[in-house]
């Protein structure tokens, strides 16, 4: 990828000209507006996007670091957290905070768990966090930052967490186990009920990573989808991460971290007066917290309401089922597992999926990949409902090109950088 080195212009430039320039910079970007992007973007339509954008702009200058200065943001954050807890069966006393994203929410969960264990006198240097192999890499990152050891445990044959294997991996040094609802690579909800029992038996912290499903699964369940229990209704669940900037459809920079008790959450907070700038208390990793992200999440939640989210969930689930059925009907392709929400993957035993990916990329379709098994990953938005037929036609054409040993951009090595 090309690197550009900027230089501050001597004189300020006209905004209209800059705006035009910025719009043209986008020409090489993935075409998400036409629903050709099935990763990074959650496109619920222009009406939702407008609410997210305008609410962000209304509060772009305000800073969530200062609740006394901006009681508006404090109130919106409290209400957003309350809505999340309500959706995720938060018991009395449960609490939470907004963060900048799933990775920060996960970092906060792991840090809180570690610091609570340390306060109880446990040795936490190099202590273990045991996760299914499908858990997000944000757990590895958190462990790396916090001086903990990540232990990745092989999955069951159905690509979900294997509670037996996780149970065997728990030892005296284990602080936390993890389940995803759903995991990113396979889009599947782990058997959280079993993990909850395990956590209670072993006396370890269970974090549920519902970054993808937290603002989706509850509505899918209301629509009749058979979503197994995965949240605070299970007594072993200590904390949950749930992203507003994914299927909450809010502007980027908005996630929630929830704790079962206030007592537990205290270990998340950083508080100090060890400098001349006055006493400071921050609930999450950030100092300055963008008012726009908080406002945008608040506005989109209220603009959609239960009805709106149920309708979006219905569209995404139907689109996923339709795509999976059509792909399974093609001779060269198959899907994996039984996803219930908006993520699925498909691969092939006869064609190299990454070559097919390359041909789809050349046709303007941008998505993720999975390496085990080699597969093409789809994280669907409501907007994809309108492009299923185009995608399937291009998939067949891409497969034909690969079958014929198509040259040129036939292969791709997708990565997240």
Interface ranges with ligand PLP (CB under 6 A): 101-103, 136, 138, 180, 183-184, 209, 211-212, 243, 255
Q: How far apart are CA 284 and CA 97, in angstroms?
A: 8
What residue spans of 95-222 are helical by DSSP H? 102-119, 138-146, 163-169, 192-202, 217-222
Residue 150 belongs to what H/E stretch? strand 149-153
Task: Give the pairing of strands 205-209 and 237-243.
Answer: parallel
Residues 354 and 412: beta-carbon distance below 8 Å: yes
**Contacts (Cβ under 8 Å, ≥6 apart) of 204:** 130, 170, 174, 175, 176, 177, 198
Secondary structure in 3-state letters for 209-226 = ECCCCCCCHHHHHHCCCC
Residue whose CB is less far from ligand PLP, 102 or 358: 102
Residues 408 and 339: beta-carbon distance below 8 Å: no
Residue whose CB is less far from ligand PLP, 112 or 348: 112
Q: Which of 96, 66, 97, 17 is nearest to 261 (CA)?
A: 96
Question: From the CB of 210, what's the least distance to ligand PLP, in Å?
Answer: 8
Residue whose CB is less far from ligand PLP, 41 or 362: 41
Question: From the CB of 274, what's the least distance to ligand PLP, in Å?
Answer: 29
Question: From the CB of 211, what's the least distance to ligand PLP, in Å?
Answer: 3
Question: From the CB of 186, what's the least distance to ligand PLP, in Å?
Answer: 10
Residue whose CB is less far from ligand PLP, 209 or 394: 209
Question: From the CB of 79, what's the least distance to ligand PLP, in Å?
Answer: 21
Residue whose CB is less far from ligand PLP, 138 or 380: 138
Question: From the CB of 318, what's the least distance to ligand PLP, in Å?
Answer: 21
Residue whose CB is less far from ligand PLP, 102 or 291: 102
Give the sign of the dihedral formed by CA 137, CA 139, CA 142, CA 144.
negative
Residue whose CB is less far from ligand PLP, 243 or 401: 243
Residue whose CB is less far from ligand PLP, 148 or 189: 189
Question: From the CB of 370, what's the least distance to ligand PLP, in Å?
Answer: 12
Question: From the CB of 184, what's the least distance to ligand PLP, in Å?
Answer: 3
How big is the CA angle at 104 (ends 247 and 130), to the nearest 5 degrees? Answer: 95
Query: Helix 291-328 to helix 46-58 angle, to the nearest 10 degrees?
Result: 160
**By Cβ distance, which residue is nearest to ligand PLP?**
102
Token pair of 385, please?
Answer: 């409902």
DSSP 406: -
Residue whose CB is less far from ligand PLP, 98 or 183: 183
Residue whose CB is less far from ligand PLP, 102 or 163: 102
Query: Helix 291-328 to helix 71-87 angle, to the nearest 10 degrees?
Result: 30
Question: From the CB of 252, what's the least distance to ligand PLP, in Å?
Answer: 8
Question: From the CB of 292, what's the least distance to ligand PLP, in Å?
Answer: 16
Q: For residue 157, count other CB atoms closer than 10 A to its CB.
A: 7
Helices first, then strands: H and E counts in the chain: 12, 13
Radius of gyration of the chain (CA): 22
């Amino acid at each position: 990828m090309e690197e550009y080195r900027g230089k501050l212009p001597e004189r300020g430039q006209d905004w209209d000209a800059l705006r035009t320039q910025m719009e043209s910079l986008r020409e090489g970007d993935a075409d998400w507006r036409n629903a050709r992007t099935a990763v990074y973007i959650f496109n619920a339509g222009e009406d939702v996007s407008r609410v997210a954008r305008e609410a962000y702009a209304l509060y772009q200058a305000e800073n969530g670091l200062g609740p006394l200065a901006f009681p508006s943001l404090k109130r919106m954050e409290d209400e957003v957290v309350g809505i999340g807890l309500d959706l995720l069966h938060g018991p009395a006393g449960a609490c939470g905070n907004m963060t900048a994203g799933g990775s920060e929410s996960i970092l906060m969960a792991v840090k809180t768990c570690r610091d609570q264990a340390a306060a109880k006198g446990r040795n936490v240097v190099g202590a273990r966090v045991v996760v299914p192999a499908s858990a997000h890499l944000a757990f590895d990152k958190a462990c790396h930052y916090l001086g903990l050891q990540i232990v990745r445990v092989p999955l069951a044959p159905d690509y979900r967490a294997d509670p037996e294997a996780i149970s065997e991996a728990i030892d005296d040094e284990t602080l936390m186990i993890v389940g995803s609802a759903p995991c990113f690579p396979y889009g599947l909800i782990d058997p959280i009920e079993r993990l909850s029992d395990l956590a209670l038996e072993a006396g370890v912290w269970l974090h549920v990573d519902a970054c993808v499903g937290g603002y989706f699964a509850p509505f899918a369940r209301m629509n009749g989808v058979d979503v197994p229990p995965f949240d605070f209704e299970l007594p072993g669940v200590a904390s949950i991460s749930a992203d507003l900037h994914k299927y909450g459809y809010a502007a980027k920079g908005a996630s929630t971290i929830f704790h079962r008790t206030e007592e537990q959450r205290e270990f998340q907070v950083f508080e100090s007066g060890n400098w001349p700038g006055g006493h400071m208390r921050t609930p999450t990793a950030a100092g300055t917290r963008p008012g726009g992200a908080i406002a945008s999440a608040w506005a989109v939640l209220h603009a959609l309401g239960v009805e709106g989210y149920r309708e979006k969930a219905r569209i995404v689930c139907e689109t996923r089922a339709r795509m999976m059925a059509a792909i399974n009907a093609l001779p060269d392709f198959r899907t994996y597992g039984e996803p219930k929400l908006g993520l699925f993957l498909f691969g092939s035993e006869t064609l190299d999926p990454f070559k097919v990916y390359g041909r789809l990329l050349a046709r303007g379709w941008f998505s993720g990949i999975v390496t085990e098994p080699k597969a093409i990953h789809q994280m669907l938005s409501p907007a994809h409902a309108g492009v299923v037929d185009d995608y399937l036609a291009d998939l067949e054409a891409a497969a034909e090109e690969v079958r014929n040993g198509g040259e040129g951009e036939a292969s791709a090595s997708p990565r997240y950088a």
